[in-house]
């Protein structure tokens, strides 16, 4: 959880109503994901390790598939959202961008979804402005 993160929910809900197309991205890590510090004995949260795709920050376990921590905030009210793009579900590669995995080559499917609908301009909201929002 991000301290105070729930404070943006009313704004996100209000902004969402202004758009015809709404797509959500969701971190969806398997337990023991390679980006978790717990997967690297002796390593601490926020240290970096070299991975095949480049430097990887080691995170606390988060957004584990099927757990409460992976759920959307209960106050999020975007019933007209058409799709949820799950990312970070490959155990050996992290994903910050809504468009590509951390190798910057493997697509998440978001680009294809938007392209097929003729959408070329997007607005992005979220909490992780230093990683996920920024990379997207």
Rg (CA), the chain: 15
What pLDDT was estimated at residue 128?
Answer: 84
Domain boundaries, the chain: 5-135
The Cβ of residue 102 has, within 10 Å, a number of other Cβ atoms equal to 23
Q: Dihedral sign, CA of 57, 61, 64, 70?
A: negative
Q: Find the length of the chain.
A: 136
| Options 3.40.50.850, 3.50.50.60, 3.30.1180.10, 3.90.1150.10; CATH of 5-135 | 3.40.50.850
Local confidence pLDDT in tens for the 136 residues of the chain? 788 999 999 999 999 999 999 999 999 999 999 999 999 999 999 999 999 999 999 999 999 999 999 999 999 999 999 999 999 999 999 999 999 999 999 999 999 999 999 999 999 999 888 888 888 9
Q: Are 63 and 53 in contact (CB under 8 A)?
A: no
Six-digit token pair at 61? 């376990």
The pTM assigned to this predicted structure is 0.91
Partners of 85 in the β-ladder: 25
Answer left, alpha or beta for residue 109, where phi above 0 means left and psi between -120 and 50 means alpha: left
């Amino acid at each position: 959880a991000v301290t105070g993160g729930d404070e943006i929910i009313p704004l996100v809900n209000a902004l969402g109503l202004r758009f015809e197309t709404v797509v959500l991205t969701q971190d969806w890590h398997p337990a023991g994901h390679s980006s978790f510090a717990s997967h690297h004995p002796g390593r601490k949260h926020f240290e970096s390790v070299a991975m095949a795709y480049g430097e990887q920050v080691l995170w606390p376990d988060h957004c584990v598939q099927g757990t409460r921590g992976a759920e959307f905030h209960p106050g999020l009210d975007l019933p007209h959202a058409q799709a949820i793009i799950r990312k970070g579900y490959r155990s050996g590669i992290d994903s910050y961008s809504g468009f590509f995995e951390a190798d910057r080559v493997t697509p998440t499917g978001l680009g294809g979804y938007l392209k097929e609908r003729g959408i070329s301009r997007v607005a992005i909201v979220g909490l992780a402005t230093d990683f996920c929002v920024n990379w997207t």
